[in-house]
Amino acid sequence: QCVQVCPTAALTEMYHTDKVWEAINDPDKYVIVQTAPAIRVALGELFGMEPGTRVTGKMVTALKRMGFDAVFDTNFAADLTIMEEASEFIYRLENNKTLPMLTSCCPAWIKFIEHQFPELLDVPSTSKSPHIMFGAIAKTYYAERNKIDPDNIVVVSIMPCIAKKAEAARPELTKDEHNHVDIVVTTRELGAMIKEAGIEFTKLPDSEFDHPLGETTGASVIFGTTGGVAEAAVRTAYEWITGDELKGEDVVFQQLRGATGLKDATVEMGDRKIRIGIASGLGNARKLLEEIREGKSKYDIIEIMACPGGCIGGGGQPFHHGNDEVIKKRQQGLYQEDGEKKVRKSHENKEIIELYKNYLGKPFGETAHRLLHTHYEERERI
Ligand code: SF4
């Protein structure tokens, strides 16, 4: 199913909503849905609400009424990503392995480096992106715990992103006995489905995500904005490296915040000074990657997001036509949610701690590697 996204029909967007309805209507399938951090501050715009309005509870209610068997938050898997990325960073730091380490949750920039900078493929973290990690856990840990045949589980990701559709189809993420993620739909597609179902979105009461893959932290919600993944990783790496606790508002690293395309910060962790670079937009990413290629990079960690502003400005979000104010309002919505959370560090998420204790073992250990890490491949230059 395609929809026209420009007046001349020169551009069309592949819609996968029919596949989702088909899965929901199949009595043999157990259909799990997960929603990315950036959706909650933008979905309301499709129903006349102000950009940045948090509609998390209404969104969960809508998904339950649409017939999904379980409704989870990709933020849970964002916390899982931080457990793996922070562990990998410390491993590289302490063993003189490749630095800087680049974050790997944006599939558009991963594809960009595979095509444009194939000599740097040891630089990105090997951690899979959060929604892919979620799919891996849903079809193993969750399936075993709930005695559901993973063959009957369908994982649907609601993403702000069109690139996530291609990511879910990458051969290395589909070659095992189960796809990690079966169907990806965007924020706009979710809006269309809610309307199709005749749900009056603005009048919905709030509901909570299901458990045990539903507990989340403030660190995970800021994944939706540029700088958020790095800030979340720094919160965990800081405490693990120094053994000191970040209390209250000390978890906020202002230098990593804001919507500018290139940001730079230094964070002291014990006797180490960790240099962090942030790029959003592929033009800015290219600058940081060229510095690495030329041996001139001063950074230890780099976060790259292909879309200006990060996922809040993703290609699957309600159209904002380059309006920076919309991006800033969505960003504020995420920062507010972080500020209101009781738990703001990924390694303090109780369901994540339980997952490692009961199933994964050590972060960056053998089982975690098998389920949560991947590799990258050189692709033809374009
Ligand atoms: Fe997708 Fe854009 Fe987010 Fe990258 S930054 S994951 S392309 S929405």
What tens-digit pLDDT sequence spans the chain (382 residues)?
A: 555 455 444 455 678 999 999 999 999 999 999 999 999 999 999 999 999 999 999 999 999 999 999 999 999 999 999 999 999 999 999 999 999 999 999 999 999 999 999 999 999 999 999 999 999 999 999 999 999 999 999 999 999 999 999 999 998 887 666 789 999 999 999 999 999 999 999 999 999 999 999 899 999 999 999 999 999 999 999 999 999 999 999 999 999 999 899 999 999 998 999 999 999 999 999 999 999 999 999 999 999 999 999 999 999 999 988 789 999 999 999 999 999 999 999 999 999 999 999 999 999 999 999 999 999 999 887 6
Domain of 129: which CATH number? Answer: 3.40.50.1780
Instruction: Classify residue 76: in a domain, yes or no.
Output: yes
Ligand 1, from 161, 181, 319: best to mutate by most atoms within 8 Å of Cβ? 161
Ligand 1, from 133, 164, 165, 222: best to mutate by most atoms within 8 Å of Cβ? 164
The per-residue pLDDT for 2 is 57
Task: State how beta strands 70-73 and 30-35 pair.
Answer: parallel
Q: Which residue has the tokens 């849903």?
A: 138
Residues at CB less than 6 angstroms from ligand 1? 106, 108, 160-161, 163-164, 305-307, 310-311, 314
The per-residue pLDDT for 175 is 63
CA of 45 to the centre of ligand 1 (A): 19
Phi first, then psi, for residue 70 (nearest 5°) are -150, 140
Atom of ligand 1 nearest to the CA of 108: 7
Please name the residue whose Cα sits nearest to atom 6 of ligand 1: 106
CA of 280 to the centre of ligand 1 (A): 9
The total of structural domains in the chain comes to 1
Instruction: Classify residue 381: in a domain, yes or no.
Output: no
The per-residue pLDDT for 359 is 97
CA of 68 to the centre of ligand 1 (A): 25
| Other residues' Cβ atoms within 10 Å of the Cβ of residue 349 | 23
CA of 268 to the centre of ligand 1 (A): 29
CA 156 vs. chain centroid, Å, equals 14
Strands (E), the chain: 2-4, 12-14, 30-35, 70-73, 101-102, 153-159, 183-186, 262-269, 272-280, 301-305
3-state secondary structure of 291: helix
Instruction: Classify residue 377: in a domain, yes or no.
Output: no
Indicate if 85 belongs to the active site: yes
Indicate if 105 belongs to the active site: yes
The per-residue pLDDT for 321 is 82
The per-residue pLDDT for 93 is 95
Q: What are the distances in angstroms from CA 241 to CA 97, 222, 229, 269, 301?
A: 17, 22, 18, 7, 15
| Structural Rg of the chain based on CA atoms | 20
Indicate if 106 belongs to the active site: no
Ligand 1, from 13, 103, 307: best to mutate by most atoms within 8 Å of Cβ? 307
Report the sign of the C-alpha dihedral through residues 115, 121, 124, 130, in that order.
Answer: positive
The per-residue pLDDT for 177 is 60
CA of 163 to the centre of ligand 1 (A): 7
Which run of H or E residues covers position 351? Answer: helix 350-355
Please name the residue whose Cα sits nearest to atom 1 of ligand 1: 161
Instruction: Classify residue 323: in a domain, yes or no.
Output: yes
The per-residue pLDDT for 332 is 97
The per-residue pLDDT for 320 is 85
Q: Which of 334, 328, 341 is nearest to 40 (CA)?
A: 334
Using omega within 30 degrees of 0 as the cis cutoff, is the peptide bond preceding 100 cis? yes
Instruction: Classify residue 382: in a domain, yes or no.
Output: no
The per-residue pLDDT for 171 is 86
Instruction: Classify residue 246: in a domain, yes or no.
Output: yes
Boundaries of domain holding 136 = 2-372
Instruction: Classify residue 150: in a domain, yes or no.
Output: yes
Please name the residue whose Cα sits nearest to atom 4 of ligand 1: 106
ipTM summary value: 0.99
| Of 58, 164, 165, 345, catalytic | 164
DSSP for 119-141, please give it: GGTTSB--BPPHHHHHHHHIIII
Is 310 in contact with 226 (CB distance < 8 Å)?
yes
CA of 156 to the centre of ligand 1 (A): 17
Instruction: Classify residue 230: in a domain, yes or no.
Output: yes
